[in-house]
Amino acid sequence: MNFFDLGTIDHQAAFLRQKALVVDVANGSPDALILCEHPKTLTFGRKFHEANLFVPEAELAGRGFLLVRADRGGDVTLHAPGQLVLYPIIDLKRACCGLKGYLRKLEQVAVDLLDDFGIVAKGDDGNRGVWIGQKKIASIGIGVSRWVTYHGMGLNISTDLSLFRVIRPCGLDVAMTSLCEELKRPVLMDEVKQKVIGHFKRVFG
């Protein structure tokens, strides 16, 4: 398994990196995981409904949001600094898990990370993502090409949660939360990344 920490990177640049890795993995390279953060970006999945955007697109651009149509499932979601974005590039044929099994494993990585910090979280087969009680801490939307996954999961570590007010995240009326919000203290992103890599190796290894 290869790990790529791209730091803070534009959504489109990270997308191109993913697509290149998808070709490599489909041709037999080891599975990979990209870790990164994005500047303030709203992405619209294949199940996007206009009603889930509370502010007109033109105004959002004026407020500094980048707007992206993404070829993933799901509705609208927000990326911003302080959110750890995971893009697993996994060959589903080699991994021998169905789509739902893959999504569950992805959620499990976040559940295990949060457990390290003493937080009880869970995935949800009905409403995908990772939840702490009724609050959502991670959102999921994926793409698959040549049986290889791309796109992935956004996990809020120290994200400015007020940014979510411009959307109905994933089309759900839910409160978003973050690791720092739950702990009421700062957390180092590098520490989180190291833990995530460990859990990812174990869950997908």
Partner 1 sequence: MIAILVPDLGDGITKVEVASWHKREGEAVVKDDDLVELVTDKASFNIPAPVSGILRKIHYPAGGEAVVGSLLGEIA
| 141 sits near partner 1 (criterion: CB under 8 A) | yes
Task: In whole angstroms, give the CA distance from residue 105 to residue 122.
Answer: 11
Residue 64 has φ and ψ, to the nearest 5°, of 95, 10
Concerning whether 97 is annotated as a catalytic residue, the answer is: no
Q: How far is the CB of 156 from partner 1 (least distance, A)?
A: 18
Q: What character string, x for contact with partner 1 (CB under 8 A) and - otherwise, covers 161-200? A: ----------------------------------------
Residues 18-57 that bind partner 1 (CB under 8 A): 26, 45-47
Minimum separation from the CB atom of position 140 to partner 1 (A): 6
22 in Cβ contact with 148 (< 8 Å): yes
Pairing of strands 76-79, 66-69: unpaired
Q: Are 121 and 179 in contact (CB under 8 A)?
A: no
Q: How far is the CB of 116 from partner 1 (least distance, A)?
A: 25
Give the x/- contact pattern for partner 1 in 91-130, rule: CB under 8 A. Answer: ------xxxxx-x------------------------x--
**Rounded Cα–Cα distance for residues 165 and 16 (Å):** 29
Please count the other Cβ atoms lying within 10 Å of the Cβ belonging to residue 119: 15
Residue ranges that bind partner 1, judged by CB under 8 A: 26, 45-47, 71-74, 97-101, 103, 128, 140-147, 151
